[in-house]
């Protein structure tokens, strides 16, 4: 029996504290430094949408990455969260907004549970197609029934300014800090779950459903739990997207493209990895900006918005194909290598012993 | 290398032995078998750890099992042998509830089922391994082994998130048991590695550890030795015997290596074309002309060199 090339102690000795330190440093910078030095553009165009999308990616990762259930309906649950929060704040003005967010997440979770029911019978592509039903149905409902948008003629709602406990957070920095706090809290929650016995059961269902049943994992309940939790997190992300980033809500903003975008975040960032959602969202948000600048510098006037959008799709498509072939574990795995600075040979030995 | 497997509270086994005495004993079915009564045959007074009663199963007209009876006494190591396609795995899948038999019943710790409820299998004190590895590839060795105790956890999700006393106590207990099982199977050097990339023999051991951590009354092993080297087979044989000797665990195993089967089992059941054609001690099976004709004579030549 050949012994392990990599001693387990190396991973836990250098890996864990490094992660904790890294997260701590990131939080200090995000909460303490950035609000002092950043400009409006940084918050409004980059950081706030990044946070909302990262949270949505995290939500989808619970379902797809950890539990192995593919979903193409993520943006529907974002929409449910956004519309629920809007209607709660409109119709129950007495409720504090933080409670609105929580309830909006719960509403999204309930809708997610309903659309998760097919997962008890369907798998893989068939399940993915059935989640498309959520995507189209939810968008149709919000278009069809004016009640949800309070009878707005154009269907576009302007959301009320963000106010938490009497403190107005409608400036760029305020909305950013609010998003950051929510994302930090929800991420902590998800992290705790993934490290618990429940998290283990999620992966068990993903990796071998029959074996999971045999050892007593309640497979059906675990799947529905994953749908509920995932939709809750995505719903909260929808609230941030609508209230902190766009400050408007319209059904078209939560279309299939958005669902795919969230799926790409998870694939590029790394399945079943918390930091993967953040890395993937970072790439998805920053990459078009970089591409626009680059295109402008290289091609000048030729590079108009049409060309930009097309080239975005092409490059993004190539990136996804590249990741699926070269590094299915995503940016998260790349970061692992860079951070832990391990020799290439030892790494390959670990990946393919 | 003989290390003591964790000596846990024995109450579960003792409780299990007392159960089901009042009802009709499933052992009576043994009377219908064509084999002569063997020395080790369970007495009608002790309830069998596992009994299969006239089970038939077919897949769209193809008969996989035909009126199969089987009774396994507590603490027995029972091998099921037979040529490929004889229905051995189907029988194990019926016992664990993955297949619903067309007719017949399965008795487990005093309860009788038309279809074993797979979700409650672990609660019934039954664990199994699979012919092809059925591990959770994305989890570490430790987590795979620990997952074998999932059925025993009581703390809810919320309790786990906030880390309630119950949740923390359970987490500690599970980790302790997993560490013990890891030590028993000499898996220490792989503890934190994802099982996906580990050598085949190691993965087989992880699967066995996951099954045994729950301290089952009944352990079903589907070709535990397949694809192993001679040394690994010897090692695994030792583990299986140790588990039975120390915990009186009943073990039913499907195995093709006749040498291993003859040396390890108390009794052997032989299946051919979905029928049980023989059931007896290794000595009886070795001398049974039906078995020799159907299986042993051929298989022994094929696997010559592996010895007994």
Interface contact B234, partner A, CB < 8 A: no
Interface contact A221, partner B, CB < 8 A: no
**B 171-200 residues inside an 8 A Cβ radius of A:** 171, 174, 189-193, 197-199
List of long-range contacts for B2-6, beta carbons under 8 Å, 24+ apart: B2/B238, B2/B242, B3/B183, B3/B184, B4/B184, B4/B246, B5/B180, B5/B181, B5/B184, B5/B212, B5/B242, B5/B243, B5/B246, B5/B247, B6/B177, B6/B180, B6/B181, B6/B184
Which residue of chain B comes nearest to A10, CA vs CA? B192
Parallel, antiparallel, or unpaired for β B250-254 and B77-81? parallel
> Residue B71 phi/psi, 5° resolution?
-135, 125
On whether residue A261 sits in a domain, the answer given is yes
Kindly report which listed range (A5-19, A182-196, B115-129, B226-240) carries the lowest average pLDDT score: A5-19
pLDDT of res. B307? 44
Residue A331 has pLDDT above 80, yes or no: yes
Smallest Cα–Cα separation from A250: which of A156, A131, A352? Answer: A156
Residue B295 has pLDDT above 80, yes or no: no
Which DSSP state fits A168? E
**What mean pLDDT do residues B55-67 have?**
94
Residues of chain B neighbouring A64 (CB-CB closer than 8 A) = none
Domain with A249, as residue range(s), is 41-351
State the Cα–Cα distance between residues B131 and B152, nearest whole angstrom: 25
Of residues B46 and B290, which shows the higher confidence score?
A: B290
Residues of chain B neighbouring A196 (CB-CB closer than 8 A) = 157, 160-161, 167, 171
Q: How far is CA A268 from the centre of its chain?
A: 12
Interface contact B169, partner A, CB < 8 A: no
* Count of domains for chain A: 1
pLDDT of res. B42? 45
State the Cα–Cα distance between residues A312 and A257, nearest whole angstrom: 13
Mutate to test the interface with A, among B115, B125, B136, B230 (most CBs of A within 10 A): B136
State the Cα–Cα distance between residues B182 and B137, nearest whole angstrom: 17
On whether residue A308 sits in a domain, the answer given is yes
Which residue of chain A comes nearest to B123, CA vs CA? A216
Kindly report which listed range (A71-80, A272-281, A283-292, B259-268) carries the lowest average pLDDT score: A283-292
Question: Partners of B108 in the beta sheet?
Answer: B50, B111
**A 255-274 residues inside an 8 A Cβ radius of B:** 272
Interface contact B214, partner A, CB < 8 A: yes
Q: Mean pLDDT, chain A, as a whole number?
A: 88
Q: Encoding tokens for residue A250?
A: 């319209």
CB atoms within 10 A of CB B40: 13
pLDDT of res. B41? 43
pLDDT of res. A349? 52
A119 neighbors A127 (Cβ within 8 angstroms)? yes
- B64-93 pLDDT, tens digit each: 999 999 999 999 999 999 988 899 999 999
How many degrees, rounded to 5, is the angle at CA B278 between CA B275 and CA B280?
A: 145
pLDDT band with cut points at 50, 70 and 90 for residue B306: very low
Residues of chain A neighbouring B151 (CB-CB closer than 8 A) = 215-216
State the Cα–Cα distance between residues B282 and B19, nearest whole angstrom: 29
Residues of chain B neighbouring A213 (CB-CB closer than 8 A) = 118-119, 121
How many degrees, rounded to 5, is the angle at CA B201 between CA B200 and CA B207?
A: 90
Interface contact B235, partner A, CB < 8 A: no
Smallest Cα–Cα separation from B53: which of B71, B76, B38, B41? Answer: B71
Residues of chain B neighbouring A200 (CB-CB closer than 8 A) = 136, 139, 143, 146-147, 150
Which residue of chain B comes nearest to A226, CA vs CA? B157
pLDDT band with cut points at 50, 70 and 90 for residue A153: confident
Please count the residue pairs, one from chain A and one from chain B, whose beta carbons lie less than 8 angstroms apart: 112
On whether residue A28 sits in a domain, the answer given is no
- B122, A214: Cβ pair inside 8 Å? yes
> Residue B221 phi/psi, 5° resolution?
-120, 120
Question: Partners of B269 in the beta sheet?
Answer: B80, B279
- B167-188 pLDDT, tens digit each: 999 999 999 999 999 999 999 9
* DSSP alpha helix (H) spans, chain B: 11-18, 88-95, 141-146, 157-162, 165-184, 200-212, 230-247, 258-264, 282-287, 289-291, 297-302
Nearest to A204 among B136, B152, B191 (CB): B136
Interface contact A4, partner B, CB < 8 A: yes
Which residue of chain B comes nearest to A196, CA vs CA? B160
State the Cα–Cα distance between residues A256 and A132, nearest whole angstrom: 8
Interface contact B128, partner A, CB < 8 A: yes
State the Cα–Cα distance between residues B131 and B246, nearest whole angstrom: 25
**What mean pLDDT do residues A309-337 have?**
86
Q: Encoding tokens for residue B94?
A: 């019926």
Of residues B40 and A322, which shows the higher confidence score?
A: A322
CATH number for position A270: 1.10.3470
pLDDT band with cut points at 50, 70 and 90 for residue B211: very high
Residue A9 has pLDDT above 70, yes or no: no
**Which range has highest mean pLDDT (A38-47, A51-60, B46-55)?**
A51-60
Residue B30 has pLDDT above 60, yes or no: no
Residues of chain B neighbouring A352 (CB-CB closer than 8 A) = 197
End-to-end CA distance of chain B: 22
- B199, A353: Cβ pair inside 8 Å? yes
Residue B237 has pLDDT above 70, yes or no: yes
- B136, A203: Cβ pair inside 8 Å? yes
Cα–Cα separations (whole angstroms), residue A46 to A13, A254, A282, B2:
35, 19, 9, 61
On whether residue A203 sits in a domain, the answer given is yes
3-class state of residue B58 by DSSP: strand
- B135, A211: Cβ pair inside 8 Å? yes
Whose tokens are 């298989």? That residue is B299
A236 neighbors A104 (Cβ within 8 angstroms)? yes
Whose tokens are 């609105």? That residue is A100
pLDDT of res. A21? 86
Nearest to B138 among A196, A203, A219 (CB): A203
Mutate to test the interface with B, among A185, A190, A192, A211 (most CBs of B within 10 A): A211
Domains of chain B: 17-125+216-308 (3.40.50.300), 133-215 (3.40.50.300)
Cα–Cα separations (whole angstroms), residue B72 to A152, A274, B88, B255, B282:
73, 48, 15, 16, 15
Nearest to B119 among A203, A206, A213 (CB): A213
Smallest Cα–Cα separation from B257: which of B289, B284, B234? Answer: B234
User: Judging by beta carbons within 10 Å of its beta carbon (0-12, 13-18, 19+), is residue A15 exposed, middle or buried?
Assistant: middle
Residue A171 has pLDDT above 80, yes or no: yes
State the Cα–Cα distance between residues B276 and A105, nearest whole angstrom: 57
Shortest distance between the Cα of B206 and any Cα of chain A, in A, equals: 13
- B193, A4: Cβ pair inside 8 Å? yes
**What mean pLDDT do residues B234-246 have?**
92
A257 neighbors A234 (Cβ within 8 angstroms)? no
Residue A345 has pLDDT above 60, yes or no: no
pLDDT of res. A86? 96
pLDDT of res. A241? 97
Whose tokens are 């990262």? That residue is A54
A56 neighbors A237 (Cβ within 8 angstroms)? yes
Q: Encoding tokens for residue A86?
A: 């809007």
A232 neighbors A301 (Cβ within 8 angstroms)? no
Interface contact A192, partner B, CB < 8 A: yes
3-class state of residue B105 by DSSP: strand
- A350, B137: Cβ pair inside 8 Å? no
Kindly report which listed range (A15-29, B224-238, B277-291) carries the lowest average pLDDT score: A15-29
State the Cα–Cα distance between residues B232 and A200, nearest whole angstrom: 29
**What mean pLDDT do residues A252-274 have?**
94
State the Cα–Cα distance between residues A352 and A221, nearest whole angstrom: 35
């Amino acid at each position: 029996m050949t012994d392990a090339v990599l001693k387990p102690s190396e991973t836990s000795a250098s890996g864990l504290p490094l992660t904790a330190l890294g997260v701590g440093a990131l939080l200090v910078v995000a909460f303490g430094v950035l609000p002092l030095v950043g400009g409006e553009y940084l918050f409004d165009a980059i950081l706030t949408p990044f946070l909302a999308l990262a949270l949505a990616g995290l939500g989808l990762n619970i379902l797809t990455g950890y539990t192995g259930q593919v979903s193409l309906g993520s943006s529907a649950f974002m929409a449910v969260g956004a519309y629920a929060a809007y209607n709660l704040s409109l119709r129950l003005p007495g409720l504090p907004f933080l409670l609105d967010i929580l309830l909006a997440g719960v509403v999204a979770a309930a809708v997610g549970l309903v659309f998760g029911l097919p997962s008890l019978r369907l798998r893989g592509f068939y399940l993915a197609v059935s989640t498309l039903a959520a995507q189209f149905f939810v968008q149709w409902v919000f278009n069809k029934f004016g009640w949800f948008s309070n009878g707005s003629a154009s269907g576009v709602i302007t959301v009320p300014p963000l106010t938490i406990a009497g403190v107005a957070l409608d400036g760029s920095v305020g909305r950013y800090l609010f998003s950051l706090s929510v994302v930090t809290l929800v991420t902590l929650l998800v992290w705790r779950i993934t490290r618990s016995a429940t998290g283990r059961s999620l992966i068990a269902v993903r990796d071998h459903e029959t074996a999971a049943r045999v050892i007593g994992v309640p497979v059906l309940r675990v799947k529905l739990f994953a749908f509920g939790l995932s939709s809750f997190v995505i719903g909260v992300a929808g609230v941030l997207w609508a209230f902190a980033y766009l400050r408007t809500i319209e059904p078209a903003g939560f279309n299939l493209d958005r669902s795919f975008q969230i799926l790409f975040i998870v694939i590029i960032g790394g399945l079943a990895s918390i930091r993967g959602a953040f890395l993937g969202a970072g790439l998805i948000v920053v990459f078009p900006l970089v591409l626009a600048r680059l295109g402008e510098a290289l091609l000048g006037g030729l590079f108009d918005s049409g060309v930009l959008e097309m080239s975005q799709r092409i490059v993004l498509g190539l990136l996804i194909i590249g990741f699926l072939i070269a590094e299915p574990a995503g940016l998260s795995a790349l970061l692992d290598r860079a951070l832990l600075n391990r020799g290439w040979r030892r790494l390959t030995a670990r990946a393919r012993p | 290398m003989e290390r003591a497997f964790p000596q846990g509270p024995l109450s579960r086994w003792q409780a299990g032995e007392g159960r089901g005495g009042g009802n009709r004993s499933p052992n009576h079915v043994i009377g219908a078998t064509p084999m002569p009564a063997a020395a080790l045959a369970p007495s009608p007074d002790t309830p069998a750890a596992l009994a299969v009663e006239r089970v038939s199963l077919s897949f769209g007209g193809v008969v996989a099992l035909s009126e199969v009876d089987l009774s396994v006494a507590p603490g027995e190591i029972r091998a099921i042998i037979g040529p490929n396609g004889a229905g051995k795995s189907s029988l194990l899948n019926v016992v664990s509830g993955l297949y619903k038999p067309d007719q017949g019943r399965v008795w487990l710790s005093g309860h009788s089922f038309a279809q074993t409820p797979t979700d409650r299998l672990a609660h019934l004190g039954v664990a199994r391994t699979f012919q092809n590895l059925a591990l959770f590839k994305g989890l570490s060795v430790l987590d795979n082994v620990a997952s074998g105790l999932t059925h025993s956890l009581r703390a809810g999700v919320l309790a786990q998130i906030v880390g309630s006393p119950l949740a923390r106590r359970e987490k500690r207990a599970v980790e302790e048991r997993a560490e013990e099982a890891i030590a028993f199977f000499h898996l220490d050097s792989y503890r934190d590695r994802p099982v996906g990339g580990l050598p085949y023999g190691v993965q087989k051991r992880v699967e066995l550890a996951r099954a045994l951590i729950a301290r089952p009354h009944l352990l079903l092993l589907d070709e535990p030795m397949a694809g192993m080297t001679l040394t690994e087979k010897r090692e695994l044989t030792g583990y299986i015997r140790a588990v039975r000797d120390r915990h009186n665990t009943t073990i039913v195993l499907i195995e093709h290596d006749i040498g291993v089967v003859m040396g390890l089992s108390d009794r052997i059941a032989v299946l051919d074309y979905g029928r049980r054609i023989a059931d007896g001690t290794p000595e009886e099976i070795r001398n049974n002309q039906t078995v020799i004709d159907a299986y042993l004579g051929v298989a022994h030549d094929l696997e010559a060199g592996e010895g007994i």
